Amino acid sequence: MANIISDETIEYVGILAKLELSEEEKEQAKSDMGKMLDYIDKLNELDTTNVEPMSHVFQVNNVFRQDVVANGDDRDNILKNAPGIKEGAFKVPKTVE
């Protein structure tokens, strides 16, 4: 493996992804991520001079909706996905910035 993921990196990625990993899981993740980066390095061997950067896999653009209200009040169904409900709102642990 050419790419070695440091302990600091895996710790940082864990914080960003809000994941708590055990020691074994961390080692596994470090090895998986190293392999992914190796694969990217492989792609980097290709000569892409004169190739336009691709921003989407489909050759499609300009897919639009007209500005017309199509959805009614479906609150009861939407709230079925809520971890808790209070006064028509999703109830979550207190979050203040």
Partner 1 sequence: MAKQYETVIGLEVHVELATKTKIFCGCSTEFGGAPNTHTCPVCTGMPGSLPVLNKQVVEYAIAVGLATNCSITQYCKFDRKNYFYPDNPQNYQISQLYLPICRNGGVEIDTPAGKKIIGIHEIHMEEDAGKLIHDEWEDCSLVDFNRSGVPLIEIVSEPDMRSAEEVIAYLDKLRLIIQYLGASDCKLNEGSMRADVNLSVREVGAKEFGTRTEMKNLNSFKAIARAIEGERARQIELLEEGKSVTQETRRWDDNKEYSYAMRSKEDAQDYRYFPDPDLVPIMISDEWIARIKAAQPELRTEKLERYKKEFDIPDYDAEILTSSKHMADIFEATTELCKKPKKVSNWLMVETLRLMKENDMEADDLKFSPENLAKLIELVDAGTINSSVAKEVFEEVFKNNIDPDKYVEEKGLKAVNDEGALRATIEKVIADNPQSVEDYHNGKEKAIGFLVGQTMKAMQGKANPGMVNKILKELL
Residues near partner 1 (CB under 8 A): 16, 18, 55-58, 60-71, 73-75, 78-79, 81, 84, 86-97
CA distance 60 to 42: 28
The single residue listed with the structure tokens 């007209």 is 66
Residue 1 or 39: the one with the smaller Cβ distance to partner 1 is 39
Nearer to partner 1, 50 or 95 (CB): 95
Which residue, 23 or 94, is less far from partner 1 as judged by CB? 94
Closest distance to partner 1 from the beta carbon of 77 (Å)? 9
| 37 in Cβ contact with 6 (< 8 Å) | no
Cα separation, 37 vs 60, whole angstroms: 29
